[in-house]
Amino acid sequence: MTSKRPPPPLDEDALRELALRYVGRFATSRGKLLAYLARKLRERGWGEEAPADPEALVARFAELGYVDDSGFALMKSAALGRRGYGARRITETLRAAGIEEADRGAADAQAQADRWAAADRFARRKRIGPYAMQAPDPKGREKAIAAFLRAGHDYALARRWVDAAPGDFPEAED
């Protein structure tokens, strides 16, 4: 039986190397990087006398441009919009990633501007409304509206898409 030795406690250099590897591998936000570093510190411990300061390291990475919350927010918003998610779901995802409201401004505006196209993509992916083979029964209609709402679309938009007859595309809003 071989017993695996636990990794040594982290020091300043090892913490910086972990952070560099993480931002080099993943598009991330300050909040996600800070959570990653905090988890690594909990798992491995700290081996120096001075206390660990992951907040300063994250701030330095943001200053150097390795972490850009507004750029991450725009990228994530566009990706979720292409998958058919609505503005509410996008906002909540960005909030969970630790993106501050000031950094979400452009992403929120993009999500609002693309809301009709996102609803179209969602309806196509789920075969709802104009993409359905037949009009849903009342219970199926409720399920389709609930799916739209869970995806972050507002109720009025969900109703317009769900109530559209198969093959009859609703008119885009202004």
pLDDT tens digits for range 23-65: 999 999 999 999 999 999 999 999 888 899 999 999 999 999 9
Tell me the pLDDT band of 2, cut-offs 50, 70 and 90.
low
Mind listing the pLDDT tens digit for each residue in 8-19?
899 999 999 999
Contact 119, 161 (CB under 8 A): yes
Mind listing the pLDDT tens digit for each residue in 115-164?
999 999 999 999 999 999 999 999 999 999 999 999 999 999 999 999 99
The average pLDDT across 61-74 equals: 95
pLDDT value at residue 1: 59
Mind listing the pLDDT tens digit for each residue in 84-128?
999 999 999 999 999 999 999 999 999 999 999 999 999 999 999
Long-range contacts of 23-29 (CB under 8 A, 24+ apart): 23/61, 23/66, 23/67, 27/72, 27/75, 27/76, 28/67, 28/72, 29/67, 29/69, 29/72, 29/73, 29/97, 29/98, 29/99
Contact 45, 10 (CB under 8 A): yes
